Amino acid sequence: MSASSTTPATDLRVAFVSGHSQWWGKQRLVAKYLKMRLEGVIYPDVYCLALMLSDKFDFLLEGESVPRGKYDVILAELQASEPQLRYLESLVESGDPPVAVIPGPPAILSRELSDAKMRMVGRILSGARYVWAYSPELKTFCDGLIGRDRANLIPWPYDLVATQKLGGSAHREPGQRRILIQAPMSFHDIVQNHPFVLKAVLLELWQELPATLRQELTFHTFIYNDEDRARYHSSGFAEGLPFVLRRKLGYRAFVRFLGGCDGVINLTAGSILGRITFLSAALGRPGIFSDNSQLNTQLYPGSCVAIFDTVRLRELLRAMLRAIAAGTVDERLLPSSDAARKAGDFPANQARLRQMLLSR
User: Taking a C-beta distance cutoff of 8 angstroms, is the pair 155, 351 a contact?
Assistant: no
Q: Are residues 153 and 179 in the same domain?
A: no
Residues 73 and 97 sit within 8 Å (Cβ to Cβ):
yes
Per-residue model confidence (pLDDT) at position 191: 81
Per the structure, the complete domain to which residue 103 belongs is given by 4-159+345-358
Q: What is the CATH number of the domain that holds 349?
A: 3.40.50
What does the pLDDT read at residue 173? 75
Q: How far apart are CA 359 and CA 169, in angstroms?
A: 40
Cα separations in angstroms, 212 against 167, 209, 215 = 28, 8, 5
Q: Is the peptide bond before 301 cis (omega within 30 degrees of 0)?
A: no
DSSP helix/strand/coil, 288:
strand
Yes or no: say if 317 and 325 are a contact pair by the CB < 8 Å rule: no
Rounded (to 5) percent helix, strand, coil in the chain: 45, 15, 40
How many structural domains compose the chain?
Answer: 2
pTM of the model: 0.93
Task: Let me know whether 264 and 197 are in one domain.
Answer: yes
Do 138 and 218 lie in a common domain? no
pLDDT per residue rounded down to tens, the chain (360 residues): 334 334 444 579 999 999 999 999 999 999 999 999 998 899 999 999 999 999 999 999 999 999 999 999 999 999 889 999 999 999 999 999 999 999 988 888 888 889 999 999 999 999 999 999 999 989 999 999 999 999 999 999 999 999 999 998 777 777 899 999 999 999 988 788 999 999 999 999 999 999 999 999 999 999 999 999 999 999 999 999 999 999 999 999 999 999 999 999 999 987 778 999 999 999 999 999 999 999 999 999 999 999 999 999 999 999 999 999 999 999 999 999 999 999 999 999 999 999 999 887
CA quadruple 17, 20, 23, 25: dihedral positive or negative?
Answer: negative
Report the C-alpha gap between 175 and 273 in whole angstroms. Answer: 34
Residue spans of alpha helices (H) in 207-250? 211-216, 226-234
Same domain? For 296 and 178 the reply is yes
Cβ(211)–Cβ(188) under 8 Å?
Answer: no
- Whole-angstrom distance, CA of residue 171 vs CA of residue 255: 11
Mark whether 28 and 107 lie in a shared domain: yes
| Tens digit of each residue's pLDDT (9 = 90 or more) over 57-66 | 999 999 999 9
Q: Are residues 188 and 335 in the same domain?
A: yes
- Shared-domain flag, residues 80 and 166: no
State whether 141 and 121 are in the same domain. Answer: yes
CATH of the domain at 170: 3.40.50.2000
181, 330: one domain: yes
Within 13 Å, how many C-alpha atoms sit on residue 38's CB side?
6
Do 221 and 141 lie in a common domain?
Answer: no
